[in-house]
C-alpha cells in the first residue's frame, strides 16, 4: 500500500484588517517590526469585521513600555455595556530588548514609529510598525512623478500588446 506524503507545513494564514496607505507616501521607511497588541474582546470582534483606522496613529515608548496611540477601532455593535472606547491607548507586546533598541533609535532626530498595517496571524492580532523618517515635499512630488511614469509605461505596454 503506498504511503501518504508527510503533511506539508502551511504558511500561517494572515488576514489584513487595516493598512496605513499614507505611511509610505508621507514617510521613508527605515526598518519594520512586528508586534502583538493588547486588546479587549469587543475590540477583537470589531477587528474581525475589519473596522479599524490607522490614519494619524503612532507608537511611542513610555515608562519602558511600547504604546500605540491614535488607532480607532470602532465599537462592536453587539458588545455588552457599550463595548470599548474607540480611540484608547493600546499596549504593544514586544520583548524588553526590542523596546530598548527601538527606543534608542527613536531618540535619533527625525525618526518616528508608525503602524503600517494591522492583521491577524494565526488567530492573533499583530501590528506592523515602521521606523520612519518624514519625507520633504519635493520627495513626495518625486514619488508622484515616478508613480505616474510607471503607469504610463504600463499603459503603453498594454496598448502595444492589444495591437
* C-alpha 88: how far from chain center: 17
The pLDDT assigned to 11 comes to: 58
Check residue 8 and give its pLDDT: 47
Residue 122 located in a structural domain: yes
Per the structure, how many domains does the chain have?
1
What is the CATH number for 63? 2.40.280.10
**98 domain-assigned:** yes
Q: Which three cell numbers stand for residue 72?
A: 480607532
> Could you tell me if residue 82 is inside a domain?
yes
One DSSP character per residue, 27-72 reads EEEEEEEEEEE---HHHHHHHHTT-EE-TT-EEEEETTEEEEES-E
Query: Considering the domain boundaries, does residue 117 fall inside one?
Result: yes
Which residue in the block uniquely carries the three cell numbers 504610463?
152
* Tens digit of each residue's pLDDT (9 = 90 or more) over 87-137: 788 888 999 999 888 888 888 777 888 899 888 888 888 899 988 887 777
- On whether residue 57 sits in a domain, the answer given is yes
Q: Alpha-carbon distance 16 to 121, whole Å?
A: 9
| Residue 48 within a domain | yes
- Domain of 64, in residue numbers: 14-135
Of 62, 70, 81, 68, give the one whose Cα is nearest residue 125: 68
What is the structure's pLDDT at 96? 92
Amino acid at each position: 500500500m503506498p504511503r501518504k506524503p508527510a503533511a506539508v507545513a502551511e504558511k500561517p494564514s494572515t488576514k489584513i484588517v487595516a493598512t496605513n496607505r499614507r505611511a509610505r507616501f508621507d514617510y521613508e521607511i527605515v526598518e519594520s517590526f512586528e508586534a502583538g497588541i493588547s486588546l479587549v474582546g469587543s475590540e477583537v470582534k470589531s477587528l474581525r469585521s475589519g473596522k479599524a483606522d490607522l490614519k494619524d496613529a503612532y507608537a511611542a515608548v513610555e515608562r519602558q513600555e511600547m504604546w500605540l496611540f491614535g488607532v480607532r477601532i470602532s465599537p462592536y455593535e453587539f458588545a455588552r455595556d457599550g463595548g470599548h472606547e474607540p480611540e484608547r491607548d493600546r499596549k504593544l507586546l514586544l520583548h524588553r530588548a526590542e523596546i530598548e533598541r527601538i527606543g534608542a533609535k527613536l531618540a535619533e532626530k527625525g525618526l518616528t514609529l508608525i503602524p503600517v498595517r494591522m492583521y491577524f496571524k494565526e488567530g492573533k492580532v499583530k501590528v506592523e510598525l515602521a521606523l520612519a523618517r518624514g519625507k520633504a515635499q519635493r520627495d513626495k512630488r518625486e514619488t508622484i512623478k515616478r508613480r505616474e511614469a510607471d503607469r504610463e509605461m504600463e499603459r503603453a505596454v498594454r496598448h502595444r500588446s492589444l495591437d
